Amino acid sequence: MATLELKSLRKTYLTEEIIKGISLSIEDREFVVFVGPSGCGKSTLLRMIAGLEDITSGDLLIDGQRVNDVEPGKRGLAMVFQSYALYPHMDVYKNMEFGLKLAGVPEKERSEKIQHVAATLQLEPYLHHKPGQLSGGQRQRVAIGRAIVRNPKVFLFDEPLSNLDAALRGQMRVELSALHRKLNATTIYVTHDQVEAMTMADKIVVLQKGVVEQIGSPLELYHHPRNLFVAKFIGSPPMNFFSAIFQNGGHDGSSVQLRDGTLLHVPVSPPDILPGTKITVGIRPEHVELAPASDDSGVVEVIERLGAITLVHVRCADGQIIVVQTDGFTTLEVDTPVSLKLPPQHCHLFAPDGLAFEACRRHPLAA
Amino acid sequence: MQAVLEHSAPKGASERKGKRTGLLLLSPAVLILLVWSLVPLAMTLWYSLINYNLIDPTLHGFAGFSNYWYLLTDPDFLYSLLHTVILVVGVLIISVGGGTLLAILYDQEFFGRGIARVLVISPFFVMPTVSALLWKNLMLHPIYGVYSAMMRAVGLTPIDWLARFPLLTVMMIVSWEWLPFAVLILLTAVQSLDSEQKEAARMDGAGPIAQFRHIILPHLSRAISVVVMIETIYLLTIFAEISVTTAGGPGVASTNLAYLIYSRALLQFDVGGASAGGVLAIIIANVAAMFLVRSVARNLEV
């Protein structure tokens, strides 16, 4: 098992910088998820760690050893690819055997290891099937088995579940989490799916355009997003935003005036900005409260009933749409006038540079 | 035709009428095929059984199997058979072996790859007669040839390739023509290889040679078997290159089966003997084709 350290890693293709100096340390047995929109460089970063892409500058350390120039096969890592990349002309057994054979593991030991892994992953009945005869989930398992059998220091996953259907994806997610607990291996997992990131990660790294936006536990990202990008990216449906005027603030909170004149006292301490500055208020749909209309501040435009929850899209007087998440039993109908209540303790404030105001008290689950 | 007939399995009168319409519609194609393939075959079979020499009209009448006997006991025939096998196998080894290596080379990124690819394919567009003439007169001519000039430039005596190694030289010329075909097919196959598979092999610790052996070569096996099949069909009948460069000589040193049949029929005017050779060639080609098709078909299954 291993620790990993990235020291201002950079990657330049021709003249374009893809990875712009990423520093990160990954503890032993940690499950780290790289998440971000497509094109943010998360896969490139993973491939740099794997050794499939050259590192333009910076240092990559595995267990304290600099491995920038070590061949991928010699770094002690194993990777599960998005397309699984099974060898189509070899059966399941030979797929798992290939790496061991190249490493010069004796025949008997190989067979023992493969049998053991096959038992763990319930692959025994398929050992002599070719990948073409397996279903998507089974192929996925073989790809994981091929990684496990080499007993690597670090597991790398490159969007491994994105080719599966929704039901299977949920199932494999649980299996992967259980497997990680059992193997206790350091794992780096790349995904664009925030559900995967939130449910599996010990630590999430949010990337955008080759830059780390925030590193933290899933709930830390949810309750204390560091900036507007993370606030928008984490959470589904995404956070609502509207502009407001900063009034004043201190250690116990900040006062802001919304566009309709409402004053909010949010328990966050402001950075060094002047009263009167235009800032952004964010609140998650699950925290907005609907009240019967006392005035014509909003009208229900669309209702999405998902069974357990209902998403209500409210058009405010100024034309902006705000999404509110309520329980599944609401009797609201389209075109009903409603008014919205924003509980101040759930509001996030963002300075004009996009950075969030510091919360006065951290959320107990995201300490 | 079988499929069409089975598809409209006759049950009632109307269906029988439908079947007759089907046959009627099929008949032009079937008739043309019959006329174009069966008539020459029947004529060849008939000629091979009679005495038929254009120079000696007095020699005629039914000959039985004496044409075949004469041919099978002729050492030239056995040589020509051997030369056919050597040419086919030799050209296959050179074009498939070289084609695989070149395909992998041309799959790499390098400056001017587009132009290089066009150049490597271009010999395929030169017709056999022309390429044989080019090699004979432009490249290998012992006095005027480019190759001879190069040899003399470094003080060596040029070899008269076509006189000293006629079969090998023909093999080289034919390989030069067929290598581009192999490169073309194998290059597209190499390009269709999922790059993640190569990367997975790298993660498994495979170096370039192990990747080639365990990932690329198995991936190419289907394309290679297709190349082998198509090339064999054409290589069994190499003619233009031999006719232009060596005319089968010296002696019969570069005569293959196709050239032997030609020389029997149109140089010695022995139509009967040539027809017997033709029939034997048909049998040999069919046996080879049967083995090839069977092995390729097995290879094409997943």
In B, minimum Cα distance to A82 occurs at B196
Contact B215 A82 (CB under 8 A): no
CB A94 within 8 A of CB A87: yes
Residue A367: what pLDDT? Answer: 66
Judge if A262 and A198 occupy the same domain: no
Overall average pLDDT of the A324-348 stretch: 88
CB A87 within 8 A of CB A166: no
Judge if A206 and A257 occupy the same domain: no
In B, minimum Cα distance to A144 occurs at B200
Judge if A254 and A343 occupy the same domain: yes
Residue A292: what pLDDT? Answer: 76
Residue A291 pLDDT level (bands cut at 50, 70, 90): confident
Residue B110: what pLDDT? Answer: 87
pLDDT greater than 80 at residue A294? no
In B, minimum Cα distance to A50 occurs at B203
* Residues in B touching A88 (Cβ below 8 Å): 197, 219
Which pLDDT tens digit goes with each residue over A103-127? Answer: 888 999 999 999 999 988 888 899 9
Ranking A50-64, A291-305, B84-98 by mean pLDDT, the lowest is: A291-305
Nearest Cα neighbor of B121 from B191, B187, B183 is B183
Overall average pLDDT of the A191-213 stretch: 91
Number of Cβ pairs closer than 8 Å across A and B? 64
Please classify residue B191 by burial: count the beta carbons closer than 10 Å to its beta carbon, then call 0-12 exposed, 13-18 middle and 19+ buried.
exposed
Between CA B60 and CA A70 the distance in angstroms is: 82
Residue B301: what pLDDT? Answer: 61
How many Å lie between the alpha carbon of B200 and the closest alpha carbon of chain A?
6
Between CA B114 and CA A78 the distance in angstroms is: 36
Nearest Cα neighbor of A339 from A273, A275, A283, A260 is A260
Tokens linked to B267: 């140089």
Judge if A210 and A343 occupy the same domain: no
Nearest-by-Cβ selection for B203 from A72, A86, A88: A72
Q: Specify the CATH number for the domain of residue A248.
A: 2.40.50.100
Integer-rounded Cα radius of gyration of chain A: 25
* Residues in B touching A82 (Cβ below 8 Å): 196
How many Å lie between the alpha carbon of B285 and the closest alpha carbon of chain A?
31
Distance from the Cα of residue A221 to its chain's centroid = 9
Contact A73 B205 (CB under 8 A): yes
| Domain boundaries, position A332 | 232-366
Judge if A287 and A268 occupy the same domain: yes
CATH of B66-131+157-300, one of 3.40.50.720, 3.50.20.10, 1.10.287.130, 1.10.3720.10: 1.10.3720.10
Beta bridge partners of A57: A10
Between CA B47 and CA B45 the distance in angstroms is: 6
Last residue of a domain, one of A209, A228, A247: A228
Q: Is B213 on the interface with A (CB under 8 A)?
A: no
Nearest-by-Cβ selection for B197 from A51, A85, A99: A85
* Residues in B touching A71 (Cβ below 8 Å): 202, 205
How many Å lie between the alpha carbon of A72 and the closest alpha carbon of chain B?
5
Tokens linked to A108: 């008997």
* Residues in A touching B221 (Cβ below 8 Å): 89
Using N-to-C axis directions, what is the helix angle for A136-148 and A107-120, rounded to 10°?
130
Residue with tokens 């060849």: B44
> Residues with Cβ < 8 Å from A289, sequence gap 6 or more?
A324, A340, A341, A342, A343
Contact B194 A85 (CB under 8 A): yes
Residue B8: what pLDDT? Answer: 44
How many Å lie between the alpha carbon of A326 and the closest alpha carbon of chain B?
45
Please classify residue A275 by burial: count the beta carbons closer than 10 Å to its beta carbon, then call 0-12 exposed, 13-18 middle and 19+ buried.
exposed
Letter string b/e over residues A90-108, b meaning 16 or more CB atoms within 10 A of that residue's CB? bbbbbbbbbbbbbeebeee
Integer-rounded Cα radius of gyration of chain B: 25
Residue B67: what pLDDT? Answer: 84
CB A283 within 8 A of CB A239: yes
CB A19 within 8 A of CB A11: yes
* Residues in B touching A81 (Cβ below 8 Å): 196, 199-200
Contact A83 B203 (CB under 8 A): no
Judge if A206 and A321 occupy the same domain: no
CB B132 within 8 A of CB B173: yes
Contact B199 A130 (CB under 8 A): no
Instruction: Give residue A230's identity as a one-letter amino acid code.
Output: V
Contact A82 B196 (CB under 8 A): yes
> Residues with Cβ < 8 Å from A354, sequence gap 6 or more?
A227, A228, A229
Judge if A214 and A65 occupy the same domain: yes
For chain B, give the DSSP string.
-HHHHHHT---SHHHHHHHHHHHHHHHHHHHHHIIIIIHHHHHHHHHHTB--BSS-TT--SB-TTHHHHHHHT-HHHHHHHHHHHHHHHHHHHHHHHHHHHHHHHHHS--TTHHHHHHHHHGGGGS-HHHHHHIIIIIIS-TTT-HHHHHHHHTTPPPP-HHHHSHHHHHHHHHHHHHHHHHHHHHHHHHHTS-HHHHHHHHHTT--HHHHIIIIIHHHHHHHHHHHHHHHHHHHTT--HHHHHHTTT-STTTT--HHHHHHIIIIIS-BHHHHHHHHHHHHHHHHHHHHHHHHHHHHHH--
Query: Average pLDDT of chain A?
Result: 89
* Residues in A touching B194 (Cβ below 8 Å): 83, 85
Judge if A158 and A263 occupy the same domain: no
Residue B222: what pLDDT? Answer: 87
* Residues in A touching B201 (Cβ below 8 Å): 87, 98
**Cross-sheet strand order for the sheet of A186-191:** A77-80, A154-158, A186-191, A31-35, A203-208, A211-216
How many CB atoms are closer than 10 A to CB A364?
A: 8
CB B237 within 8 A of CB B87: no
Beta bridge partners of A304: A311
In B, minimum Cα distance to A52 occurs at B199
Last residue of a domain, one of A228, A249, A272: A228
Judge if A198 and A242 occupy the same domain: no
CB A360 within 8 A of CB A366: no
Residue A49: what pLDDT? Answer: 92
Tokens linked to A143: 């790809």
Which pLDDT tens digit goes with each residue over A159-190? Answer: 988 888 888 888 889 988 988 988 888 999 99
What is the SS3 assignment for A302? strand
Number of domains, chain A:
2
| Percent of chain A with pLDDT strictly greater than 70 | 99
DSSP A343: -
Instruction: Read off the pTM.
Output: 0.78
* Residues in B touching A87 (Cβ below 8 Å): 197, 200-201, 214-215, 218
Q: Before A285, cis peptide (omega within 30)?
A: no
Residue B5: what pLDDT? Answer: 44
Judge if A274 and A172 occupy the same domain: no
- In the stretch 162-181 of chain A, residues with CB closer than 8 A to chain B read none
Tokens linked to B284: 């040999």
Between CA A120 and CA A95 the distance in angstroms is: 16
Judge if A163 and A296 occupy the same domain: no
In B, minimum Cα distance to A156 occurs at B203
Q: Could you say which residues of chain B have pLDDT below 70?
A: 1-13, 300-302
Contact A81 B196 (CB under 8 A): yes
What is the SS3 assignment for A108? helix
Which pLDDT tens digit goes with each residue over A90-108? Answer: 999 999 999 999 888 899 9
Residue A30: what pLDDT? Answer: 92
CB A37 within 8 A of CB A208: yes
Judge if A45 and A122 occupy the same domain: yes
